[in-house]
Each structure stands twice: as C-alpha cells, then as structure tokens.
Structure 1
Amino acid sequence: MNPWLPTAPCTPRTCAGHEGRVRGRPAAAALLLAGCACILAGALGAPLLPLLGAARRERLIRRWAYGVVRAFGVRVRIVGTPGTPGAPDRTPGTPGTLVVANHISWLDIPLVAAVFPGRMLAKSEIRGWPLLGPLAARGGTLFVERDRLRALPATVRTIGAALRGGSRVVVFPEGTTWCGRGPGGRFGPAVFQAAIDAHATVVPVRITYRTAPAEHTTPAGHNATVEHTAPAGAAAFVGDDPLVASLWRVVTAAGLTAEIRVLPPIPADGPPDRRALARRAQTAVANDSANRPPESVHH
C-alpha cells in the first residue's frame, strides 16, 4: 500500500446511516431496476455519441446523467450558473477547464456530469465495476492507479494534454470518499499542476446530500416536520462498503436530495504554485457560503 494514498476515517457502520423516511422494499427495488436500466441504456448508446455534434452530445450526456440520479430516486438541486446546456464553456483554441469537487459517493459522478460533462479522473478499480466500468471507459475516463506513486507524473501529463486540447476534466482531488460530515479531506496538489501547465481555469464545485423533512407527532396529536440539517449519510460510499449495499441504501432513503453548487472559477495563473492553487480551491469548496452565485433549482 502506498503510504501517500489518502485515507478517510469514515466507515459504512459509523457514517452511512439514514435518519429520515424510508421506502418500502417494492418501491426501492423498482428504483434500483430503473437506475440500473438507465445506466445500461447509457452504456449501449455510448458508441453512438461520437457521431453527434459537440453541442448535441454534451446536451444528451447532461440529460442522461441527470436521469440516472433521478432514476435512483434522488432529487437534484443545482445552485449557481453552470452555463447553458449544450453550449461550450470556452472559445475554440483555448484550454479546457479543470472541475474539482469534494467526494462523497458514486452518485457524485453522474451528478457532476449532469452539470459539467467531461473526462473524469477515476481510480483504476472502477474499470472493473459492472455497467459503470465499461461506461466510464467508453466515456473517455482517465484512470489512475492510486497505489502507484510513480504513475502520478504520467497522469498529470495526461490531464495537462487533455486540458490543452480543450477538454473539460473532472477530478475529485481528495483522492478518496468522505461521508460529507465535517470539512472533508485535503485537496492533493498534483492535478492542479496540470491546470497550471495548460493555463486552464479551475472551477470548484461543492457536493452535498440531504434528507427530506421527517414528520413526527406532537403531544397534542398534530404532525410536525423536522429538518435534517446534517448531510445525508445514506449517500455516503466510504471505506470497504460494497457497491450493492450502497445502491440499496440510496434507493431505500426516501426524500434524498443531491445538491451541486457551482463556485466562482479560479484562474490557474493566479496562485503562485500548485499547492497554493489546491489550497484556494479547497477553501472555496469548504467555505461555499461566501459569495454564493444565483440559484438555479431543478426537481
């Protein structure tokens, strides 16, 4: 095991719980089938995407990714201004953008793709996942062997080349998943070197999962609602949690909402080096209450 490999203290037993309303087994099973069917449809249709124009392809990916999250019974809330769906966020000949986000769940991948379709940087283990693995590979995912430190420079060069070519690259620089409670992990600086080398803009985004209000009965016999203000643990995919167990938690957690908040972009030539750029992006994600952009809410 690489001693530099990021680890989180989160475990399925202590962090992946749900305190709100739950769905019955038949409804949860139906959502599980619907979500898997939506992913399968994307895998089957992926070979046809290169035949489409760039704007139409991006618009289709956004709609499909949004549909995946909704198919699993999770509401989507987009806060900020991600740009017009299907419209490029750059002019021809300019570098792409590096989108960086905190990491909580496997749901993060389609959630970010619903706003910023792009080439994901993912751990090599995902390549072997059923349905999701082949789909990620066909979608141009950049796989990294996290336990091989020697492979890191080549990964940075690959990301830099993709950015220089105009691609949008999506990275979770914490290097592992956290449950969403607390500040999360440190943003590794390596991927930010790729943005500096390519003169690419960094776009930080904040991901949170929350439960719907739960009802309880007052002593007078009236129903009242109680907001769960803490992030929803049902979405957390941490530690040695089996993917099947995480899928089932998500579909049984009624009223789960995924929020993605788009934060102000950071020019790569602003901070003096990759570590300063990583700290600035991490601070923006951790303190997203400051300078919040206008809201755009989708249900």
Structure 2
Amino acid sequence: MLRQRDKNSEIMLSCIEEKYYKGEVVLEHHSFVRIISGEMKIIQSDQKTIVGVGSTLLIPRNQLATFIKYPKDGKPYKSVVLTFTTEKLKHYYSNHSFELTKPQQHRLKLLPPHQLFDSYFAAFESYFDVEDDLPSDLIDLKIEEAMLILRSVDKDIDYTLADFSEPGKIDLAEFMEKNFMFNMTMEKFGYLTGRSLTTFKRDFKKSFKSTPQRWLTQKRLELAHYYLSSKDRKPVDIYLEVGFENLSHFSFVFKKQFGYAPTEIKLRAIDE
C-alpha cells in the first residue's frame, strides 16, 4: 500500500504487508525517509545498507539503487516519505543563504539518531487517518520544517540539496560495469550517463561489442553464479540483488546459460 497525503505526492506513507517489495529507483527528486516498522535493504553499486525501525535517511536524486522492503517482527514495512522537489528547493535556497565550498557528493545519507527527527515524524501517522488531502499550506510548512531540521542536524546537507546540476556525459563503460545489476530502462541508463537513447546504444556497442540487453543479462548471470558458487548463497536470496524480477525467470535463463539449474551448483561442486 502506498498512500499519498497530498495531491503532489510530496508526503506519502508506504506500507508493505506482503513478503517483500522490490523496486529499482532513480529518483527525480530527493527523498527524506523515516522507517516506522519493518526493514529495508538498499543495494548500490558499491555497498549494501540495511535500515530498520527508527532509521532516518536522505536518498539523493539521480542515484541508482535497489530497494527491497519487507515486514519484520510481525509488523509490516511502514515508512514516511517526504519529497523535496527541485522547484521548492530552489525557492527555499533563494531565501536562505548558503555557501558551497567543497565538491558535492551525492550519496545515500543514513542520518544519526536525533530528538528533532523523533519529534518531527511523531505527528505524521495521525495525518494518514485524515481522508482528505492535506492543505497545501500545511505541506509547505512541513517541508520547510524538515529542511530546517536537516540543516541543523547535518551541516553538510546543503552540498546535496542545493546542487541543481543535471548528469553530464561520463565514461559509459565504467558506469555500466558498476551498475549493471540495476534493472533500469535503456533511456534511464542513457540519461544517467549524459546521453540520448540513440547515443547511448551507439556508444555501448562501441565499448562492449554487444547490445545492452544481451550484455546486461550475461553480467547479471555471472554475478549470480559467483554468489552461488563462491559465497554459498541461495538462489532465492540473490536473484533480486542481481537484477532479475522473479525466481522462475532467473532459474530459466541461468540454466540456459550454464546448462544446469542454480540449485544444482552445490551438487556439482561435490561431484567435482
């Protein structure tokens, strides 16, 4: 369940009662998130982060990540999500002084525990019992309050929130080698590397001598094989992480590629 509390989706309650929910996200805007119950695994190209009850984080825009949300301790996954739109951030910073004196680093921020966060989010659950949309003036106040709290708790937050630049053209091969496990559209891969779809496909062919889809499938299967054979992990635990949407499809293409099912790797190792 995903409930909006305003028509512009700037405040939302996410509630997952099923076994899990997986989504690959490249956010158009920054998201300020508080975990109320359950747990979420965040997979990026160079790290995995697990956040649980009481965790507060800022997810920057234009960053590739896989989010796996699931219930825990008999409670559903539940979170409050605030969206900081670029339009509102530009308006905010036009009225608040700031100075960027070092290079911007757009990374997922797991924010430290703080009483200001606790007090701020305590009021939110009651908002979701209200049937009507929240008044726009209240939304604006809550967004600005969140900004003030964030800037008070994290003195470096401006380096992320006040940077309005768009992705520039970057090294495609290096980017794809780091991010092949994310199940994005070709258009989105192109955007994140600073290219149109046509230019992305052309440059990809030049770099890898293959089509994007064929190369992505091959890389994901190779990573899956490594996890299963060298890390002693189970198919059910890794197919989402390596970029497949369901276990049966993963098993089918794995067997087609290697000649045996992913569940047979341990038996083959014993025989050898």
TM-score of the two chains, using structure 1 as the length reference:
0.24
Q: Identify, as 1 or 2, the structure richer in strand.
A: 2
Highest RCO, 1 vs 2 (Cα 8 Å, sep ≥ 6)? 1
Structure with greater Cα Rg: 2
